[in-house]
């Protein structure tokens, strides 16, 4: 009986951890959705005013300075396996 109670306690603990992770992912998703909506609205507003953003040249992109390790790491999770 004690073994089952310990397993139940462990399962509840793990469930709580997973719920916390899910809550964090949901909050991040909502924040990303809001940011995307704002950017879409800005793009629409600029297009309506004829102020569409001009594409930067590759030379400018390359010279924009070094990226931080955190910035590079955030892109790694979106990389596809070859």
Is residue 79 included in any domain, yes or no?
Answer: no
Contact 26, 33 (CB under 8 A): no
User: Would 37 be classed as within a structural domain?
Assistant: yes
Whether 77 is covered by a domain: the verdict is no
- Tell me if 14 is assigned to some domain: yes
User: What's the domain count of the chain?
Assistant: 1
In a domain, 70, yes or no: no
Report pTM.
Answer: 0.51
> Domain containing 47: what range?
2-61
Question: Do residues 46 and 52 lie in contact, with contact meaning Cβ atoms separated by under 8 Å?
Answer: yes
Residue 46 lies in a domain: yes
In a domain, 19, yes or no: yes
Take residue 76 and report the two structure tokens written for it.
């790694």
Is residue 53 within 8 A of residue 46, CB to CB? The reply is yes
Per residue of the chain (82 residues), give pLDDT as tens.
Answer: 999 999 999 999 999 999 999 999 999 999 999 999 999 999 999 988 887 666 666 665 555 555 555 555 544 544 444 4
Tokens 């790694």 correspond to 76
Return the closest-CA partner of residue 25 out of 37, 35, 33: 33
């Amino acid at each position: 009986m004690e073994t089952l109670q310990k397993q139940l306690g462990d399962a509840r603990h793990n469930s709580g951890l997973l719920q916390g992770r899910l809550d964090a992912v949901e909050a991040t998703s909502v924040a990303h959705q809001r940011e995307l909506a704002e950017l879409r609205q800005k793009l629409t507003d600029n297009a309506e005013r004829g102020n569409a953003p001009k594409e930067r040249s590759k030379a400018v992109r390359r010279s924009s300075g070094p990226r931080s390790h955190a910035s590079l790491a955030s892109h790694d999770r979106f990389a596809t396996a070859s």
